[in-house]
């Protein structure tokens, strides 16, 4: 069994949520280096997918508030 925690606040994802409206966010934060520079991409899925939570670069967030906190330092100037 895998324990999922929010990458921002550390909240643990329940195995069976009491409130189905409390949907967690699953996304990917990937960085690729090439000859011309560094490409950084953050993307979010439109729904939670248990089969993809352990994929390379996966990020787990408990709310949109945590998503905003996660993205704040990554925004381009």
- How far apart CA 49 and CA 14 sit, in angstroms, is 14
Per-residue pLDDT, 58: 96
The whole-model pTM stands at 0.82
CB atoms within 10 A of CB 30: 14
What is the predicted pLDDT for the residue at 40?
A: 82
Is the pLDDT at 77 greater than 60, yes or no?
no
* Phi-psi category of residue 57: left, alpha or beta, with phi > 0 → left and psi -120 to 50 → alpha: left
Split into its structural domains, the chain has a count of 1
* Contact indicator for 71, 16 with CB cutoff of 8 Å: no
Q: State residue 12's pLDDT score.
A: 95
| pLDDT tens-place string over residues 18-42 | 776 678 999 999 988 888 888 888 9
pLDDT digits 0-9 by tens, 60-70: 999 999 999 99
* Range of the structural domain that residue 11 is part of: 1-77
Q: Supply the DSSP symbol for 55.
A: S
Beta bridge partners of 12: 5
Residues 6+ apart with CB under 8 A from 31: 38, 39, 40, 41
Element (H, E) at 67: helix 64-71
């Amino acid at each position: 069994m895998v324990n999922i925690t929010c990458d921002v606040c550390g909240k643990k994802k329940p195995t069976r949520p009491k409130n189905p409206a409390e949907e967690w966010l699953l996304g990917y934060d990937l960085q690729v280096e090439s000859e011309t520079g560094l490409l950084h991409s953050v993307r979010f899925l439109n729904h939670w997918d248990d089969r993809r939570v352990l994929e390379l670069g996966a990020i787990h967030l408990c709310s949109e508030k945590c998503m905003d906190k996660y993205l704040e330092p990554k925004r381009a100037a």
